[in-house]
């Protein structure tokens, strides 16, 4: 594992998720209880109304300052916070000991992080008309996203708010594919401050899968990132998923694995 490249990918993902939590917090009155704070140089964030591991994370340097990370996990346990650890798959054990405390790996939350230099990416051909989201299609995208990821009704509003209103953050872009004036697929692109173009969440409407929408959205986002001067493209996928296969066909290769861990009670 190239530690420098892996760290850059992790940094880009943190920025992307923090940006989405910031969008939630910018709703007047902060009704969903979004909070962003720091652990030294590392951003941490929480969304009370959406206890998903996507939005409730403590970041830190487990090697240099393990106690600080464990303390924050303890202090914010009410938010079901987790911490991401990364490395080779074999190094991410079901249980880890950090600063004398025991962490448990979340089932289903070990993902592959993939990346390549953007000039080495392969842009597959497709015939779909892919457009940047408008206010109307953004709303439709969030509905497809909530359905595709089985977001619980009580958490849908916070999840939808996380994508902003198209003017919240210029680094976060949403692209959609429409058929018969209806959004059938879409995906996000985040242009991180370190030059990494992070291919964020992507979803296709149930019943419309298998038609190449995901691969087309990968190619489109890479092309857009090239135009914006990104130097690296990165993404996250489950090891055995079609998403991983599509990303690898586009030239991305596995950099490392990331697992999410929670603090066990004493």
The encoded tokens of residue 114 equal: 């993939």
Q: List Cβ neighbours of 22 (8 Å cut-off, separation of 6 or more).
A: 34, 36, 168, 169
| Yes or no: domain 117-255 corresponds to CATH 3.40.630.30 | yes
Are the C-beta atoms of 101 and 228 separated by less than 8 Å?
no
Q: List Cβ neighbours of 153 (8 Å cut-off, separation of 6 or more).
A: none
pTM: 0.95
What DSSP string describes 20-85? HHHHHHTSTT-TT-EEEEEETTEEEEEETT---TTT-B----TTT-HHHHHHHHHHTGGGT-BEEE
List the domain boundaries for the chain.
Answer: 3-111+257-263, 117-255
Q: Which residue(s) pair with 95 in the sheet?
A: 104
The encoded tokens of residue 31 equal: 């009704």
User: Among 66, 124, 122, 139, which Cα is nearest to 96's?
Assistant: 66
pLDDT, tens digit only, all 266 positions of the chain = 899 999 999 999 999 999 999 999 999 999 999 999 999 999 999 999 999 999 999 999 999 999 999 999 999 998 899 999 999 999 999 999 999 999 999 999 999 999 999 999 999 889 999 999 999 999 999 999 999 999 999 899 999 999 988 777 789 999 999 999 999 999 999 999 999 999 999 999 998 999 999 999 999 999 999 999 999 999 999 999 999 999 999 999 999 999 999 999 86
């Amino acid at each position: 594992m190239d530690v420098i490249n892996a760290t850059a990918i992790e940094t880009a993902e943190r920025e992307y998720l923090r940006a989405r939590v910031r969008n939630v917090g910018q709703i007047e009155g902060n009704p969903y209880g979004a909070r962003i704070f720091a652990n030294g140089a590392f951003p941490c964030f929480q969304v009370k109304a959406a206890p998903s591991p996507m939005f409730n994370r403590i970041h830190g340097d487990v090697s240099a300052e393990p106690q600080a990370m464990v303390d924050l996990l303890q202090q914010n346990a009410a938010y079901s916070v987790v911490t991401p650890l990364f490395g080779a798959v074999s190094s991410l054990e079901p249980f880890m000991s950090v600063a004398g405390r025991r962490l448990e790996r979340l089932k289903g939350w070990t993902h592959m992080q993939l990346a390549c230099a953007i000039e080495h990416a392969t842009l597959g051909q497709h015939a779909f008309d892919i457009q940047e989201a408008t206010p109307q299609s953004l709303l439709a995208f969030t509905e497809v996203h909530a359905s595709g990821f089985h977001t619980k009704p009580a958490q849908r509003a916070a999840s939808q708010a996380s994508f902003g209103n198209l003017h919240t953050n210029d680094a976060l872009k949403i692209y959609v594919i429409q058929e018969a004036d209806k959004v059938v697929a879409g995906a996000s692109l985040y242009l991180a401050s370190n030059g990494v173009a992070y291919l964020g969440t992507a979803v296709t409407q149930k019943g419309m899968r298998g038609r190449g929408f995901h691969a087309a959205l990968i190619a489109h986002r890479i092309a857009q990132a090239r135009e914006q001067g990104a130097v690296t493209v990165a993404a996250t996928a489950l090891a055995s998923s079609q998403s991983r296969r599509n990303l690898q066909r586009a030239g991305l290769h596995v950099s490392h694995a990331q697992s999410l861990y929670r603090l066990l009670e004493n």
